[in-house]
Structure formats: structure tokens, C-alpha cells
Amino acid sequence: MTKGFNHTILIVDDEEKIGKALGRLIKKAGARSVYAASGPQALDFIQKSENPLSMILSDQRMPEMEGTQFLEKAKTITPNTVRFLITGYADINAVSGAVNQGAVHRFITKPWDNDNLLEMIKSGLQYYELVVENQNLFALAKKQNTRLYSLSQELNQKAAAHKREIVRKEKQIIQLEKRLEKGGYQADYFTQIEKLLGENQMFNKDKIVLCYQAVMKDFFLKFKDLAARNGFFMPTDNELNREE
């Protein structure tokens, strides 16, 4: 048996001596056992139990409720629990229907051999472990698939938003290029400056020309410094003065 499983086996038999004998055998299998004297008592225990049952060992012939009836009801409450039915040879035909319907995983005929029954119990507990582990893996896979789907949807949304932002930026760039082109062809900045200065009677035309020269010389010196820092050749001040 796998470590991490604390197996509990429910024994249902109206004969307490048989219940105790099965309990000793279950202890050898490394599991814990609980006892119920009838089907109704066992069903009450299953409904109130907070811990899962790994296996049920039930006798067939009991006064209040037959084993097949009890195991059918138990299946609806705890479907993962392995269910063994203990019966005599005379009842084999009567219980075969319950086996075929899945209410009983296996039936044990009386009298049983303790060694064989012990191996059956161990095998049943291993089967229960596989069922539980498969369910856990399935639940984990489902959870991971849900998470992956959510991440995929989130990435798709972000990609779509990013694409829309790129389109918006491209439109802005195109608009700016058009404005620059339009401004480059239509704007006459010198005329605008002359008009502004003339309207405010700040300079006459000769002074405006001198102002332009001073501004252009200042621009030239700044561009020269920028060019020098970036490894480009620019005319010297003397060459500039000669050109003036």
C-alpha cells in the first residue's frame, strides 16, 4: 500500500464474532477497521463519517437489510469505496446481479481462507488508491487546463490591446508627418517674425537683419560645438567671418 493513505475498512455483520475476526485480519493488512451490526447502522455511520472509507466488507444475510441492498445504498453515498460481499455458496446466484451492476466489486464465499482473504483485502486497497490518485490527477489537470485557458485569454486580450495601441500610434505619426510637411511648405517664419516685430515697433528692417545674423551665428556656433562632439568638421570662426 502507498504511504500517505490511512485506510479505514467498515465491517458489516450481525455476528460480532465474525466482525472481530475480520478486524484482526484487517489489522494485518495495515488498515483500521470499524464495526457495524446491521445495514442501517452502517449507513448511518457512513453518512456521519468525516473520513473516507477505503473498503466495506459486508455479510449478505442480515436480518434488517441484506448485504446487496446495503451495498447498493452505500455506493450512492461513497462511490469510490471498494465493496466486498461475504456470502455462502447458496447465495452466489442471488448476488451475481449486484456484482454485474457495480454495487459489489467482489464477493467472498464462506468459509474463506484467511491468507487468501488477506491478499484480496490488500489488492482492494491498492485498487482504491489507484482510483483516488487518478481522480486527484484528473482534478489537477482540469485545474491546470483552466488556468492555462485563462492565461491564454489574458495574453490574447493584451496582444489585441497592444495591436490597437500600435495602430493608434501609427495614425498619430502619420498625422504629425502631414502637419510637418504642410508646415514646411506653407510657414514663412521670417515673415512672421518681421511682422510681429514691426507691429510692436521693436526694430526697424536693418536691425531685424542684424538680429537674424546674430541668431544664425549663435545657431552656427551651437551646431559647430555639437558637430565637434560628434566627430564632424565645421568651418572655423574666421571662415565664417570671411563669408560674412
SS in 3 state form for the chain?
Answer: CCCCCCCEEEEECCCHHHHHHHHHHHHHCCCEEEEECCHHHHHHHHHHCCCCCCEEEEECCCCCCCHHHHHHHHHHHCCCCEEEEEECHHHHHHHHHHHHCCCCCEEEECCCCHHHHHHHHHHHHHHHHHHHHHHHHHHHHHHHHHHHHHHHHHHHHHHHHHHHHHHHHHHHHHHHHHHHHHHHHHCCHHHHHHHHHHHCCCCCHHHHHHHHHHHHHHHHHHHHHHHHHCCCCCCCHHHHHHHC
The CA distance from 192 to 194, in Å, is 5
pLDDT, residue 45, reads 95
More confidently predicted of 19 and 203: 19
Give the CATH architecture of domain 8-130: 3-Layer(aba) Sandwich (3.40)
Average pLDDT of span 109-122: 91
Rounded mean pLDDT of the chain? 79
Instruction: Give the number of other CB atoms < 10 A from CB of residue 5.
Output: 17
More confidently predicted of 11 and 168: 11
Share of the chain above pLDDT 70, in %: 66
Q: Look at residue 160 and tell me whether its pLDDT is greater than 70.
A: yes
Q: Look at residue 74 and tell me whether its pLDDT is greater than 90.
A: yes
pLDDT category of residue 39 using cuts at 50, 70 and 90: very high
Share of the chain above pLDDT 90, in %: 34
25 contacts 121 by C-beta, under 8 angstroms: yes
Average pLDDT of span 194-221: 65
Predicted structure pTM score: 0.58
Q: Which residue spans of the chain are classified as CATH 3.40.50.2300?
A: 8-130
pLDDT, residue 167, reads 80
pLDDT category of residue 92 using cuts at 50, 70 and 90: low
Helices 114-186, 16-28: crossing angle, 10 deg rounding:
60
pLDDT, residue 201, reads 58
Q: Look at residue 17 and tell me whether its pLDDT is greater than 60.
A: yes
pLDDT category of residue 197 using cuts at 50, 70 and 90: low
pLDDT, residue 93, reads 67
Q: Look at residue 65 and tell me whether its pLDDT is greater than 80.
A: yes
Longest dimension (CA), the chain: 132
The CA distance from 47 to 10, in Å, is 13
Q: Look at residue 123 and tell me whether its pLDDT is greater than 60.
A: yes
More confidently predicted of 232 and 64: 64
pLDDT category of residue 87 using cuts at 50, 70 and 90: confident
